[in-house]
Amino acid sequence: MPFLAALCLVAPLGAAAATPAMTDNPLLVASPLPYQLPPFAQIKDEHFAPAFELGMAEELKEVEAIANNPAAPTFDNTIVAMERTGETLDRASRAFGILTGALTNDNLKKLEKAMSPRFAAHRDTIRLNPALFARIAALYDARASLALDPESDRLLERYYKDFVRGGAKLSEADKLKLKLLNAELAKLSTQFNQNVLNEINASLIIVDTREELAGLSDNAITAAAAEAARIAGQAGKFALRLTNTTGQPPLASLTNRAVRERVMAASLARGSRGGDYDNRAIISAVMRLRAERALLLGYPTHAALQLDEQTAGSVDTVNRLLAQLAPPAVANARREAADMQAMIDAGQGGFTLGAADWAYYTEKVRAARYAFDENELRPYYEIRNVLVNGVFYAATQLYGITFKERPDLQGYSPDMYVFEVSNADGSPLALFLGDFYARPSKRGGAWANAYVPQNGLTGTLPVIGNHLNIPKPPAVQPTLMTHDEVNTMFHEFGHALHGMFSAVKYPRFAGTGVPRDFVEFPSQVNEMWADWPEILQNYAKHYQTGAPIPAALLAKVEAASKFNQGFSTTELVAANLIDQAWHQLTPGQVPDADGVLAFEAAALQQGGADFAPVPPRYRTTYFSHILGGYSAGYYSYFWSEVLDADTVNWFKSNGGLTRANGDRFRDLLLSRGGSRDAKQMFRDFTGHEPDIKPLLVRRGLDAAQ
């Protein structure tokens, strides 16, 4: 039943009769491709519904056989048997999740919306099965006498807790309430996320003249803005597309303040300006339903429910973390704002710094203070060079693994990279896919997917994908990355390593099957190699001349490394405060749709992060993370960074980029997935408890503190 950890699937309709969509349906059989790579070229939209129907029926039949087994429950005939269920459904749901995230269309959106409440119902049908839970509970109560190995013992414990948290101990009446809550929440969350994507694609900022886009590159104007306007039926004009964060990339370059303000206003208003994509009513309903579900399950709030299973451990711990970060972050941001305001005043700008101005004047202050423009770096960051001679090279030096391109294998887009990954001894390790370009059918941000998870029961090796949203240049132009995009590529490959190195027995623990607030830790550690001297000099080379990045430019990058940290920390703290404020409410405290924005403003004020020039990285109405898997969990990025900064110090103190260090990290942490307690794995590697001080130093908050 491993899919339950990733995607809530569908309620059964019984065994489906054969239809054309089921004949030769590639989702119904294991992929014949190497590593069981999904055969994307053969998968059609119409294959999914029948695969779900058959997969659901199969899984429920398997579960019923386990629940009603006349033999006494054993670890093998109950827990291991559960780990083997749902193969067809898992295969179909993974392919569906990959495509709805990266290459969706109207058919898939419609199917996703129709199925989401039934997905939740299918999960509930399994977890609320009293006969099945009775077997699990009997084993759990007798676990001291079972003599299980540590991973098996942990699996039994996880199954028991998952079922209890899923409502297995509730009365029949309360189980029915839970089913209704879960179905409605699934429907609303799907609608919210589809609204976010649809509004991004619909929210074009149209400008009439090329002069209004002064500051952008010729390529950004001609190839991107002009083409976007043409596609939108505004030929001869120019259009700027939005991304899902509050800040928008063009704001750093646009010299026309009126256009900057239009872009920022459009970004901030998303999901709250009426019409088809207004998410305020959805937010209100979701937060109320989540709060009701938490009470039903015996927790005071949704945050308490979520954090009970995380390494942070409690709401108080997260609140203390944010309270420790907010004051120095905002103090730093105010100092940064004063520097920018001084520059505006010196130029007789005649206005007060606003959110639309921050990115633009940040670059001006950076250039004045460090004689450094981030655009100077781009010629040294050509995408393939960064991937092969940076990301892959670092992994080879650290872990001994090697990469071989597989042009014979395909993803779902011709732009994708496919590489076979081998261990140092030449044995196969995994398949890696890279989907790095933005497209309207792709959700925003960056993420990793296990296309095929590692499975010790079947011997299945992993297939892992990384997904970014880098604007694709015209065919004749190279893809030159920003410094942030380079860091993101290293970050996401940290997730890939977590999945590829997975060496657990049970699929429940594979790869990133860890507490949510531990998921980002290994990926953030991997960012350290982006600017490690030996790695940097191997990939940071001019795309035309091959010349290495100048030492003087690197010195400027290092000198400016803590620059603008007040802003970057404050926007994240603000988003975290919003997340926690919503999820620490009781049902009666949740405001209605008209009160959503006022509640958000009050949460920022109470948390000390209501600084208008630095809005939250995401506002409530387009905060997809917290309507998905990061509800009450967006703090994970900070919590993981505490672990990450501490671990980076360990690497630096123990010789840095060495095979011995890499093998230790792989053995004690990356290979173990969720098979051991996450905090214990951290302690095993570093030899001590987590310490927040390295994080404060990294973000330049130690002096402010």
The domains of the chain, with CATH numbers, are 2-169 (1.10.1370.40), 203-269 (no CATH), 378-559 (1.10.1370.40)
Q: Write out the two tokens for 93.
A: 């749901």
pLDDT score recorded for residue 22? 60
Question: What's the confidence (pLDDT) of residue 562?
Answer: 78
- Among candidate residues 492, 520, 571, 641, the one labeled active-site is 492
C-alpha 128/C-alpha 175 separation (Å) is: 7
CB 356, CB 263: distance < 8 Å = yes
Poorest-pLDDT segment among 408-422, 550-564, 628-642, 664-678: 550-564
Task: Report the alpha-carbon distance of residue 210 to residue 223 in Å, rounded.
Answer: 12
> Contact, 361 vs 353, CB < 8 A?
yes
Q: How many CB atoms lie within 10 A of CB 366?
A: 17
pLDDT at residue 14 tops 70: no
Angle at 370 between CA 365 and CA 375, to 5 degrees: 80
pLDDT at 349 over 80: yes
pLDDT, greater one: 436 or 557: 436
At 354 the pLDDT is: 98
Quote the pLDDT of residue 21: 55
Categorize the per-residue pLDDT at 664 as very low, low, confident or very high, splitting at 50, 70 and 90.
Answer: very high
* pLDDT, tens only, 475-510: 888 999 998 899 999 999 999 999 999 999 999 999
Query: What does the pLDDT read at residue 6?
Result: 33
Residue 455 φ/ψ, nearest 5 degrees: -140, 110
Q: Give the tens place of pLDDT for each residue, 197-229.
A: 899 888 899 999 999 999 998 878 887 899 889
pTM recorded for the entire structure: 0.88
Q: Catalytic residue at 492?
A: yes
Residue 597 has pLDDT above 60, yes or no: yes
Q: Which among 522, 509, 455 has a CA at the least distance from the CA of 673? A: 509
Instruction: Please tell me what DSSP assigns to residue 403.
Output: E
Answer with the residue of higher pLDDT: 526 or 696.
Answer: 526
CA distance linking residue 701 with residue 518, whole number of Å = 23
Single out the residue of 554, 375, 623, 625 nearest to residue 482, CA to CA: 375
Dump pLDDT digits (tens) for 80-120.
999 999 999 999 999 999 999 999 999 999 999 999 888 89
Q: Are 120 and 188 in contact (CB under 8 A)?
A: no
Between 199-203, 295-299, 479-483, 533-537, the lowest mean confidence (pLDDT) is in: 199-203
Residue 152 CB: number of other CB atoms within 10 A?
19
